[in-house]
Structure 1
Amino acid sequence: MSHPHLATIIEQATTGNEDRRTAIEPLVFFRREEQAPPCICMIEPSIVLVAQGAKRMWIGDEGFLYDPERFLITSLDLPANSEVVEASRESPCVGLALKLDMQMLAELIALGSLPPPPVRADQHSVGLGTLTPDLLQPLERLLALLNEPDSIPVLAPLILREIHYRLLQSDQAARLWQIVAAGSQSQRVAKAIDWLKQNYSKPLRIDELAGRVQMSTSTLHHHFRKLTSMSPLQYQKWLRLNEAKRLMLNSALDATSAAFQVGYESPSQFSREYSRLFGLPPKRDIEGLRSQVR
């Protein structure tokens, strides 16, 4: 199964293996022309839809396979591994990622016209939803707007609101209610993640972070790991290592300078942890990446 109309729009807007931003700010297209093993990525709260082909998202040791019948939904900023399962040059894996607006979801819930979901979501920030016609139709209209650039500022916000409304009527509604509910454990973990993203280079004191989000240390550890498959310390380490990789690749920093800039006090510890995450020491990894784009 595929969605030929969506696939055609995305294929025409992309080439090779790439992620491409669109004129609609929260909307990104992706295209992959071959199967590929899992690669490290950070996924924002979003829905990810494959119009043709199939992908699998790994969160910790758990894999989520999504294809034209099922969309992936994430409600937190999560370190993950993305795997291309079904793709070829003749029939590339193409799809879209649409960043979710949590404030919009909260506003729609506050209106009171949507009944609460009949069942609670599992304690996970990732799920697979069924792509229904009610959700597919506004997504198709959103993509059609790319051919009417002058209409995007007026009509895109209306269609995005409709998409969020449909998500709150989908089989993933409970997951979204859980994350936007004021005072919920999921919302407190989301606040902890926001703090870590803004302060990853600072020393992490778990008791202080727990106090910031009004949780006990043990409760923060439990729910953080449940939702992200990581401890807060592992999450901070992931952020530091990926930012260091970006600095070495894009700003030509050497490994020691990058290590100090992201908060490491020991270059040797940085090198060990970098090799463990990326499979190669920092210098060899960056040299390999640069050689690929020459």
Structure 2
Amino acid sequence: MNQLNDLAALIERNTGSDGLHETALPGLRLARYSAPSAPVHGLHKPAMCIIAGGRKQAMIGDRIIIYDKACYLVVTADLPVVSQVIEASAEAPYLCFAFDLNPAVLAAMVSAAGVIAPGDAPGGAPGPGLALSRSTPELLDAAIRLMRLLDTPGDLPFLAPLVEREILYRLLNGDQKDQARAIAVADSRLNQVNRAIGWIRRNYAQPFTIGRVAEEARMSTSALHEHFKAVTAMSPLQYQKQIRLQEARQLILGAGMDAATAGHEVGYDSPSQFSREYRRLFGAPPIADAARLRARPELMAEI
């Protein structure tokens, strides 16, 4: 508990206001919210997040995950997530330490250790793309030391890489070791799914066949369906729809496009179908949703 209090105090000191905050360390972001939030749609990148206060809910496809200050979570794929702070106050805010996962660094560490978990082999089944575990004293200690380095910027180039490697070491040897090591293994089922995800993200506006995505992932179509669902909690076509609608939302809000143009830009031939699916996902038709987001830009956050 003392370690969690220390980490919470350091996050508070380096944020001071609600929202997402970049730090002087590339790949380390902090989040603070002093009240429960509305649902936030975003794309969560591979990362490890340590919760130091409050409670949050994440919905991925048909999965709902609730986590609090006893937990850390590991995200191993680009996941469309609907997240919501469900417990926070001015006295006890939601606080999060978010650390990006670098596949190249993880691969180098796994290779140096000469260790591959059973699930890392090409035929091993991947786990969910977002998984939860209880934070350990060792992991919290490393996170605290990394945060303290923010107070001495001159030390960052020399000491931060050492602490960052320790955090990854704790991850590679903790409860989520199979997931973390699978990121590092080029031909793991997880990375085959990640190749499929990357292809869909690059080609989301175009129609595709499952066979084409399976070819890109170097999997059979049946294996793609099975493992894509295991990682993302949705099918490739459902994933494409999420990406299309999130991209359209950005075009309407950021580029000022009208709904019909934005829908066509992301691959919809029917404006009415686009409007229906947009409203189903975001809870309001495009124009009303854009007005709401302009009034409350925090609803576009990604953690």
Whether TM-score is above 0.5 comes out as: yes
Query: Aligned partners of 2:208 and 2:125: how far apart in 1?
Result: 30
- For the residue of structure 2 that corresponds to 1:91, the secondary structure is coil
* Contact 1:57-1:82 at 8 Å conserved across structures: yes
In the TM superposition, residue 191 of structure 1 has moved relative to its aligned partner by: 0.7
* Contact 2:7-2:140 at 8 Å conserved across structures: no
Query: Aligned partners of 2:203 and 2:163: how far apart in 1?
Result: 35
1:195 aligns with 2:199: yes
* Contact 1:117-1:173 at 8 Å conserved across structures: no
Aligned residue number for residue 276 of structure 2: 272
- For the residue of structure 1 that corresponds to 2:192, the secondary structure is helix
Query: Aligned partners of 2:128 and 2:41: how far apart in 1?
Result: 19
1:208 aligns with 2:208: no
In the TM superposition, residue 75 of structure 1 has moved relative to its aligned partner by: 0.9
In the TM superposition, residue 263 of structure 1 has moved relative to its aligned partner by: 2.2
1:43 aligns with 2:47: no
* Contact 1:181-1:187 at 8 Å conserved across structures: yes
* Contact 1:121-1:174 at 8 Å conserved across structures: no
**Which of the residues 131, 145, 159 maps onto 1:127?**
131
In the TM superposition, residue 62 of structure 1 has moved relative to its aligned partner by: 2.5
* Contact 1:14-1:31 at 8 Å conserved across structures: yes
Aligned residue number for residue 53 of structure 1: 54
* Contact 1:121-1:175 at 8 Å conserved across structures: no
Query: Aligned partners of 1:213 and 1:131: how far apart in 2?
Result: 33
In the TM superposition, residue 188 of structure 1 has moved relative to its aligned partner by: 0.5
Aligned residue number for residue 82 of structure 1: 83
* Deviation digits for residues 144-203 of structure 1 (CA, Å, limit 9, x no counterpart): 111122222232222211111111111110122234333222210011111122222222
Higher mean C-alpha displacement, 12-21 vs 234-243? 12-21
Aligned residue number for residue 142 of structure 1: 146
* Deviation digits for residues 268-290 of structure 1 (CA, Å, limit 9, x no counterpart): 22111101100111011112222
Quick one: higher RCO (CA 8 Å, sep 6+), 1 or 2? 2
Query: Aligned partners of 1:115 and 1:188: how far apart in 2?
Result: 17
Gaps of 5+ in 2: 298-303
Query: Aligned partners of 1:292 and 1:46: how far apart in 2?
Result: 25
Moved over 4 A (4+): 117-122
RMSD: 2.2
* Deviation digits for residues 100-158 of structure 1 (CA, Å, limit 9, x no counterpart): 11111111111135474799887322211221122112211111111122222232222
Q: How does 1:164-183 map to 2 (within 5 A)?
A: 164-183=168-187
- The letter of the residue matching 2:81 is A
- TM-score of the two chains, using structure 2 as the length reference: 0.89
- The letter of the residue matching 1:20 is H
Query: Aligned partners of 1:112 and 1:74: how far apart in 2?
Result: 23
Higher mean C-alpha displacement, 34-43 vs 64-73? 34-43
* Contact 1:32-1:92 at 8 Å conserved across structures: yes
The percent identity for this pair of structures is 41
Query: Aligned partners of 2:226 and 2:116: how far apart in 1?
Result: 29
Matched length: 293
* Contact 2:126-2:189 at 8 Å conserved across structures: no
In the TM superposition, residue 222 of structure 1 has moved relative to its aligned partner by: 1.5
* Contact 2:71-2:133 at 8 Å conserved across structures: yes
In the TM superposition, residue 17 of structure 1 has moved relative to its aligned partner by: 2.8
Q: How does 1:1-294 map to 2 (within 5 A)?
A: 1=1, 3-112=4-113, 114=115, 116=117, 123-292=127-296
Query: Aligned partners of 1:118 and 1:188: how far apart in 2?
Result: 13
Higher mean C-alpha displacement, 206-215 vs 154-163? 154-163
Query: Aligned partners of 2:166 and 2:226: how far apart in 1?
Result: 35
- TM-score of the two chains, using structure 1 as the length reference: 0.92
- For the residue of structure 2 that corresponds to 1:111, the secondary structure is helix
Query: Aligned partners of 1:164 and 1:126: how far apart in 2?
Result: 17
Higher mean C-alpha displacement, 106-115 vs 192-201? 106-115
Gaps of 5+ in 1: none
- The letter of the residue matching 2:86 is V
Query: Aligned partners of 1:87 and 1:170: how far apart in 2?
Result: 28
